[in-house]
């Protein structure tokens, strides 16, 4: 998947609250977005399980968030990291995480 498509897919899912996260690209963009929104210091090099657990453990940071952010959070914590396909291009995943982090930080 082209990175821009992952970003657009996550943003549309937040807007319409109509679908689940699919795959590594959407997961990493959503992880960055939520981390940025929540003001967390997450390392993009962390394993997906640790990123997900850190975001889950800081759920109090989104208690007053708008519905679209809460929807994304719920989809993110329900995402099965174990079933996520392996992606060889770590640079793309890290780029999506960084872009998401910046985008999420703008939504605070």
Domains and CATH numbers, the chain: 3-106 (1.20.58.1400)
- From the CB of residue 43, how many other CB atoms can be counted at a distance below 10 Å? 12
Nearest 5°: phi and psi at 77?
A: -75, -20
Contacting residues for 43 by C-beta, under 8 A, at least 6 apart: none
Q: The whole model's pTM is what?
A: 0.93
pLDDT of residue 55: 97
pLDDT of residue 1: 58
The mean pLDDT values, 10 residues at a time, for the chain of 108 residues are 88 91 94 97 90 96 94 96 88 94 92
Q: What is the pLDDT of residues 34-49, one digit of tens each?
A: 999 999 999 888 999 9
Q: How far apart are the first and last CA of the chain?
A: 28
pLDDT of residue 73: 97
Are the C-beta atoms of 9 and 26 separated by less than 8 Å?
A: yes
């Amino acid at each position: 998947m082209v990175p821009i498509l992952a970003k657009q897919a996550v943003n549309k899912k937040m807007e319409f609250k109509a679908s689940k996260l699919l795959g590594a690209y959407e997961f990493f963009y959503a992880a960055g977005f939520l981390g940025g929104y929540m003001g967390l210091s997450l390392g993009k090099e962390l394993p997906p399980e640790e990123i997900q657990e850190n975001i889950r453990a800081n759920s109090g940071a989104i208690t007053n968030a708008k519905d679209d952010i809460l929807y994304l959070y719920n989809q993110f914590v329900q995402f099965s990291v174990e079933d996520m396909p392996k992606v060889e291009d770590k640079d793309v995943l890290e780029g999506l995480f960084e872009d998401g982090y910046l985008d999420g930080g703008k939504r605070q």
